[in-house]
A and B are shown apart, each in its own frame.
Chain A
Amino acid sequence: MTTAVAISLVVNGEHVEANVLPRLNLADFLREHLELTGTHVGCEHGVCGACTVRLNGDIVRSCLLLAVQTHNATVETIEGVSDSGEIADLQSAFRERNALQCGFCTPGMLMAAQDLLKQSPCPGREQIREHLSGNYCRCTGYQAIVDAIEITARARAGRLP
């Protein structure tokens, strides 16, 4: 019974069928089976946020989800939201504001930030920090990341700084 299970899901708009072992988590499935390596694996127990992806529209930790649990689900990764242009402005704000250095946490930061901006168009800095509280950055520091998100929120609301 520890044999592979058939799953069928949609990843970044493409239909995917696979046979996976129950122990395989979604992050490893995306990275190793689908070669979508933008989703990063940091702590593997839900603390660092580097593996954040969208499942049926909501952000989740892909290290705390088994691939078998995504049967019939829709998954969007950093590759999906980058290629569609959905977060192009957020990405350039990160670049311009130097909100990344090594870039390891950046995909997760972008997924969490976009989730916040979808729910609340003009968040305050405290609200941004709270929404990002589950995402660790170990080199850039959070100030520039919060700045980039705040700048994007204002620009989207038509209130350029």
Chain B
Amino acid sequence: MKASAFAYARATSVTNALELLTAHGERAKVLSGGQSLLPAMNLRLVAPEFIIDIGELAELRGVVVREGVLTIGALTRHADLLKSPEIATHAPLLADAVAHVAHPAIRTRGTIGGSLAHADPASELPACMLALGATIIARGPNGERRIAASEFFVGIYETALKPEELLVAVELPVSPKNSTHFFHEFARRHGDYAIVGLAAQAFVRDGRFANLRLGFFAVGDRPLLAKSAGKLVDVVITSAVLAEASSALNDELDPLEDQQATPAMRRHLAKVLLARCVSSLLDRPDLYAGVSA
């Protein structure tokens, strides 16, 4: 189908975009890469009256590393993230994850800010933000607001952004030296919506997790930073410890049903990912023996 009619304005600066947002508020949608918004409009799932196109705001695009903080502009495209040496060095989890975001022709347009503001519970980047402890920077008529990723995603396609606010950047702490990561998702076809996925960041010392952050996606109405990861930190991991963490994870999940999978299947796959992740990060094939997807 085709999108229904709307009015259109091309923002000339961030200030101009904020003025347009203030004037049109909830009737308006911000268009960045358009790779989630335009399908939804073509399918008539949404019909905004007003589109504010921020695609030309070059000031919002790019990656900067300064004093241990990686700042990624909202309009940085998935293809930019894949090619960026700064991302490869300081946030390799993100580089791995982006390779799973849709297909090449979509990655050339889709942006990190758009993906986060859209807040699809099945998308990869919101879960990475949780695992990496990101801060989302929003600008509104009264200045900037910093929102922890853990407070940002509040439901399906729902975030802590106010109608008159624009997501302008995200900040990530540079991944510490010797930290490790894991990313995997189950999908029908490479690049399709994940059935269940996991983005994990860890620090392993003497065969134990000194730190472990597990960002699950497509397991509920928003990405989940699993508290059950705590059961795996600073302990010798045995099959019994892993089984306990897996059971705690099960209690945290609230998977939705759709054409792709039942909640029971999603619970099963999330636990498979947990075992696969722990086994891979600790280089302990024994912990994954007998587990199958």
Interface residues of A (CB under 8 A from B): 1-2, 5, 21-23, 25, 28, 44-46, 49, 52, 55, 58-61, 63-66, 68-69, 71, 112, 115-116, 130-131, 133-135
Task: Verify A2–B104 contact, CB threshold 8 A.
Answer: no
Known A-B contacts A49-B105, A134-B103; the reply to A23 vs B4 at CB < 8 A is yes
Task: Verify B104–A134 contact, CB threshold 8 A.
Answer: yes
Task: Verify A115–B2 contact, CB threshold 8 A.
Answer: no
Mostly helix, strand, loop or mixed at chain A's interface?
A: mixed
Task: Verify B4–A46 contact, CB threshold 8 A.
Answer: no
Known A-B contacts A44-B1, A46-B106, A59-B108; the reply to A65 vs B38 at CB < 8 A is yes
Residue of A1, A2, A45 near B39 (CB, 8 A) is A45
Task: Verify A23–B6 contact, CB threshold 8 A.
Answer: yes
B51 contacts across to A, CB distance below 8 A: 22, 66
Known A-B contacts A45-B39, A133-B191; the reply to A61 vs B105 at CB < 8 A is yes
Interface residues of B (CB under 8 A from A): 1-10, 31, 34-35, 38-39, 42-43, 50-51, 53, 55, 79, 102-106, 108-109, 189-191
Residue of B34, B103, B108 near A58 (CB, 8 A) is B108
Give 9 new A-B contacts, CB below 8 A, not counting A59-B105, A66-B53: A2-B7, A5-B8, A25-B42, A46-B38, A59-B104, A65-B34, A115-B105, A134-B103, A134-B106
Task: Verify A58–B39 contact, CB threshold 8 A.
Answer: no
Task: Verify A58–B55 contact, CB threshold 8 A.
Answer: no
Task: Verify B7–A1 contact, CB threshold 8 A.
Answer: yes
How many Cβ-Cβ contacts under 8 Å join chain A to chain B? 97
A117 to B5, CA, bound (A): 38
Task: Verify B2–A25 contact, CB threshold 8 A.
Answer: yes
A65 to B50, CA, bound (A): 16
Known A-B contacts A60-B105, A134-B104; the reply to A2 vs B53 at CB < 8 A is no
A129 to B, closest residue via Cβ: B190
Task: Verify A25–B191 contact, CB threshold 8 A.
Answer: no
A20 to B255, CA, bound (A): 43
Known A-B contacts A1-B7, A2-B7, A68-B10; the reply to A25 vs B38 at CB < 8 A is yes
CB distance from B277 to the nearest CB of A (A): 23
A155 to B280, CA, bound (A): 40
Task: Verify A133–B7 contact, CB threshold 8 A.
Answer: no
A/B interface sample: 16 pairs, CB < 8 A:
A25-B2, A45-B42, A49-B105, A55-B108, A58-B108, A59-B105, A59-B108, A61-B109, A63-B38, A65-B34, A116-B104, A131-B104, A134-B102, A134-B104, A134-B191, A135-B103
B9 contacts across to A, CB distance below 8 A: 1
The 5 A-B residue pairs with the shortest CB-CB distance in the complex, in nearest-first order: A134-B103, A1-B7, A22-B8, A45-B39, A58-B108
Task: Verify B104–A23 contact, CB threshold 8 A.
Answer: no
Task: Verify B35–A64 contact, CB threshold 8 A.
Answer: yes
CB distance from A110 to the nearest CB of B (A): 13
A44 to B4, CA, bound (A): 13
Task: Verify A130–B2 contact, CB threshold 8 A.
Answer: no
